Amino acid sequence: MKKIVFIVASTILVSCGSSEGVAQKKDYSKADVTKYMKTITSDDLKKHLYIVASDEMEGRNTGSEGQKKAGKYLIEEYKKNKISFPKKADGFYQKVPSEYMSRGFSPKLNDSENIWAFIEGSEKPDEILVISAHYDHVGMKNGEVYNGADDDGSGTVALLEIAQAFMQAKKDGYGPKRSILFLHVTGEEHGLHGSRYYSDNPLFPIENTIADINIDMIGRRDEDHKNTNNYIYVIGSDRLSTDLHKINEEANKKYVNLDLDYRYNDLNDPNRFYYRSDHYNFAKKGIPSIFYFNGVHEDYHQPGDEPQKIEYDALAKRTQLAFVTAWELANRDKRPVVDKDGK
C-alpha cells in the first residue's frame, strides 16, 4: 500500500513539474504598447542630456577623455536598468583603433570605442535589430566647448530611454521577440568611423541584422518648421525595404502622429543627408535602415548647441516614434523584406 501511494505521488509531482516547465507564450496583441511608450518622458531625457552634453564632457571629441567620461555615464545607466552587454562580447566596449580612423584630411584621432548594450530576443534571438546613435561631437575649439546637445546628444539619450522602455515591457513578460543591439557609435563627426567599423567587424552576422534605426539630431526644429516642432525628417526608410517604410508610417499613425517629412529622402537631395549619418554604413551592407533627423539649425556645429535650447516635448515624441517602430520590428512575425536596390 505504501509503495502504491509513493508511485502515485511521484507521478503527480512529475506531472506538475512538466506543466510548469512548458513556457507559455504571451499574446503580444494584448501588450499595452502605449504604456511602455509613455515611460519615455521629457524629464528623463532632459536629465540625461544635461549630463551627456555638459561642459564636463568637453565636447565629446572622438577618443578624448570627455567622450570616455560620457561613455561611462551611458554604461552606468544601462547597468541601472539591468541591461548588459551582448553575451558574445567581453564588455560594453568595441574598441575602434586610431589607425582605422586615419584619413589624410583629418586630424589624428586617439583610440576610441563603440558602446553596445543588448536585450536578447525571447523567440528569435539570432535576429538582431540595431538602434544606433553617435555619442561623439566636435570637442573644443579655442578653449570653447562645443557641447553638441542636439548633435547627437539627443540621439544618445534617446537610446537610453528606448532601452528602458523595452525593459519595462520585458518585466511584464513582453520582452522583444528579436534581439536588440543598442549601439552608440564613435567617430561620426570625422567620417562615420564607428558605424563603419562595426559594419566591417560585426558582433553578429550582418545577414542576421534585420534593420537599423539611426537617430541623429532629434531635439530642435529647423527654419522650415519654425511654427511647429511636431515633425521629423525620415530618410532612407524606403530605399531598401517597402516593409520598413510602411512599418514606420503605420506606427506613427497609430501612436504618435508626427508630420513625417520626406524631402531629404529625395534621391536628388543636394544636401545628401542619406549618406551623412551612421545608418548609411548599414544600408551599404543591404540592411534596411531608417534615419530620424530634425534638420539643420543655426547652432549646428556651433557652441550654441546647448541643452537649454532643446525642445524636450519634441525630443520625447520623436523618441517615442523610434520606440514604437522598433517595437514592431522586434515583434512582428517576419523581418522586413529587402525588395529595393537602395537607389
User: How far apart are the C-alpha atoms of 331 and 296, rounded to whole Å?
Assistant: 33
Answer whether residue 5 shows pLDDT above 90.
no
Q: What percent of the chain has pLDDT over 90?
A: 90
Residue 179's SS3 state is strand
Q: Could you read off the pLDDT of 66-116 as tens digits, one per residue?
A: 999 999 999 999 999 999 999 999 999 999 999 999 987 778 999 999 999
**Residue 292 bridge partners (DSSP):** 215, 234
User: How far apart are the C-alpha atoms of 148 and 136, rounded to whole Å?
Assistant: 8
The residue that leads in pLDDT, 258 or 103, is 258
User: How far apart are the C-alpha atoms of 289 and 235, rounded to whole Å?
Assistant: 9
Residue 95's SS3 state is strand
Q: Could you read off the pLDDT of 40-67 as tens digits, one per residue?
A: 999 999 999 999 999 999 999 999 999 9
Structural domains present in the chain: 33-331 (3.40.630.10)
**Nearest-CA neighbor of 134 among 206, 233, 61, 64?**
61
Q: Could you read off the pLDDT of 295-342 as tens digits, one per residue?
A: 999 999 999 999 999 999 999 999 999 999 999 999 999 999 999 998
For residue 60, what is its C-alpha cell? 565629446
Which DSSP category does 26 fall into? P
Q: Yes or no: say if 162 and 131 are a contact pair by the CB < 8 Å rule.
A: yes
